Amino acid sequence: MAKPMTKTQLVAALAEEMGSDKKSAAGALDAVVSIITREVSGGGAVTLPGVGKIYCRERPERMVRNPATGEQIKKEADKVVKMTIAKALKDSVNG
């Protein structure tokens, strides 16, 4: 598996794709991340066309097992961020 792209590499690639400088590309990336964070933490979802949908899902209270001791403990209800990958992206990766 290849190493993931760092933020610096992503900003440089974005700046090149946009035909602008790295500072404005970094600002655009930060703005997109801020919008996604605000929307998902508020219970909404964000669809990135061609990439997928990012959303928050609630998990109910449940019993879990401590792997070290084998003891059953109750885990409180919580939320988890999920992402569904777009079919177009899956198809481009697989074929």
The reported pLDDT for the residue numbered 67 is: 92
Shared domain for 49 and 23, answered yes or no, is: no
* pLDDT tens digits for range 47-56: 999 999 999 9
DSSP 20: S
| Run of H or E residues at 47 | strand 45-48
Look up the domain containing 15 and give its range: 1-42
Angle of CA points 19, 89, 21, to nearest 5°: 15
Does residue 38 share a domain with residue 9? yes
Name residue 43's amino acid.
G
For residue 18 the two structure tokens come to 């946009």
Cα end-to-end span (Å), the chain: 18
**Total number of domains in the chain:** 2
* pLDDT band (50, 70, 90) for residue 1: confident
Q: Are residues 72 and 91 in the same domain?
A: yes
- In order of 12, 38, 41, 62, the CA distances from 56 in angstroms are 30, 11, 7, 18
* Across 66-83, average pLDDT: 94
